[in-house]
């Protein structure tokens, strides 16, 4: 079922805020990936990635509460579980990082009809 665009909440500057958060998020991912490869401590990259991602997810969920039932929104929950697994099983962290990166790329660049498909 196609998404009803009229039901999406908005506020002035939302697009620019999302763009800024996405840029910060990607920077955090680079720091996290570099640290997993041995170039520094994982804390800063993990924190930047987590909080910027949580902010984007919160905005998306506020704008469209049905986001949680869509492939894209549910995918974020899966990625959060995988990140938790990284913290619980540090030996697997690098492999999980690449899995999360691949999943993120697939979900963010998939056609809108797929990303916004209702799962339940």
Check whether 97 has a pLDDT greater than 60.
Answer: yes
Check whether 1 has a pLDDT greater than 50.
Answer: no
Question: Does residue 41 contact residue 28 with C-beta atoms inside 8 Å?
Answer: no
Alpha carbon distance 86, 98 (integer Å) = 11
Contacts of 118 (CB under 8 A, 6+ apart): 1, 66, 69, 70
For the chain, what percent of residues have pLDDT higher than 70? 95
| pLDDT, tens digit (0-9, with 9 covering 90-100), for 12-30 | 999 999 999 999 999 999 9
Q: Supply the pLDDT for residue 40.
A: 78
Contacts of 102 (CB under 8 A, 6+ apart): none
């Amino acid at each position: 079922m196609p998404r009803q665009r009229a039901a999406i909440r908005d506020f002035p500057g939302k697009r620019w805020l999302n763009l800024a958060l996405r840029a910060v998020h990607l920077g955090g991912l680079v720091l996290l990936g570099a640290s997993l490869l041995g170039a520094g401590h994982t804390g800063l990259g993990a924190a930047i990635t987590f909080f910027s991602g949580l902010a984007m997810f919160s905005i998306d969920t506020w704008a469209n509460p049905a986001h949680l039932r869509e492939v894209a929104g549910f995918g974020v929950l899966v990625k959060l579980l995988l990140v938790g697994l990284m913290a619980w099983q540090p030996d697997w962290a690098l492999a999980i990082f690449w899995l999360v990166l691949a999943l993120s790329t697939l979900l963010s660049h998939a056609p809108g009809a797929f990303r916004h498909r209702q799962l339940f």
